[in-house]
Chains A and B, each alone.
Chain A
Amino acid sequence: MDGQGCDGDLVEIMARMADGDDAAMVTLYERYRTPIAGAVQRELRHRGARLDRDEVGGLVIDVCLELREVAGAWSPDGGAKPWVWARRRIGNVVDRALGQHADPLDEARLASAEAPAPVGRVGDRSLVDALARVAPDLESARLVADALDEARISPRDRELVLEYAYEKQAGNPAPATTVAAAFGMKEATVRQAFRRAVQRLRRLAAEDERFAPLAELPLLA
């Protein structure tokens, strides 16, 4: 796998999973459990949660099962690996596991508590978090989204850029390592894709007045 698009091996495995072949799910686990584990760990990190390796190992199997259920809807044409494409599903698997580990509700405290502030859906959290971190207000977030369109950044690279920038802004000292594991890519390829996208965004900010405020955002810092 070179991380550029999806290899034929993975395409064939997903097609067999879509046909209901459980053995293909085992093949997916055998060949791709490492990047899938990376995707699970990333979701845990986004939730500020930690599980031991044995528990993460169980989630990796749960994710393979989840991918089997949605394999028919995945297409290699989008360029995203299945565990990147199905990130919300993976987030749901992680949330279910974290729910099992949560402390039981204290009914008395719950009754006396103020009504909680509304929050976004947990499944939407990672990308929304990423965008919020690199473009802190709604107008900036819209500008980033428009700029990614205008600069013709591919769908995969958009996710990659936002995740990379999120990890960087969150203080991760090795964002390329984290993003590479999640996207099933080489670290060097991640750095190159990020650098290329940021260069295009900087050029856009310099050449088009509408996008000039981009230069002030953490994304391009």
Chain B
Amino acid sequence: MSARGRRVAARARHPTARQWPPDRARLLRLLAERAAGRGARWPRVAAAVIALRGVAGDDRPTFATRVGIPLDQLERLEQGSEPPTAVPPVLRAVRGLVDWSWVDAGPPADPRPG
């Protein structure tokens, strides 16, 4: 191995080169709790869509354009006012970031009194 190759390999082994592993399941649960706290009917749907937009690093208009859905539909999904069946296939096609079976299994929250 060349000296440069050894340097690259050494840097890759160094602790600071390693990324902290993500715990997206925990993050999703937190987002769902927050959505439920805001009165979302479908908090897991809200959590999943917010998480995907967060991973993309987009604001809402950019993300709506990226996935090809109207902005108001994205807003309804993030508010948790749409059921899992309303999640567009383009979002469901994203694998490895969201456990869609967890989203689908989420019961609707009771409507807030009042």
Contacts and interface: CB of A to CB of B under 8 A. Distances in A.
A180 interface: yes
Contact of A57 (B16, B20, B51): B20
Contacts of B54: 22-27, 29-30
Interface string B61-98: 00100000000000000100000000000000000000
Interface string A176-190: 010011000001000
- Interface SS of A by simple majority: helix
Contact of A31 (B21, B57, B63): B57
Contacts of B26: 57-58, 61
Contacts of B55: 26-27, 30
B50 interface: yes
Nearest to A181: B16
Interface in A12-70: 13, 16, 21-27, 29-31, 33-34, 36-37, 53-54, 57-58, 60-61, 65
Nearest to A57: B23
12 contacts: A22-B50, A22-B54, A23-B54, A26-B54, A29-B22, A29-B54, A30-B54, A33-B19, A57-B23, A57-B26, A61-B26, A177-B15
Interface of B: 15-16, 18-23, 26-27, 30-31, 34, 50-51, 53-55, 57-59, 63, 78
Interface of A: 9, 13, 16, 21-27, 29-31, 33-34, 36-37, 53-54, 57-58, 60-61, 65, 177, 180-181, 187
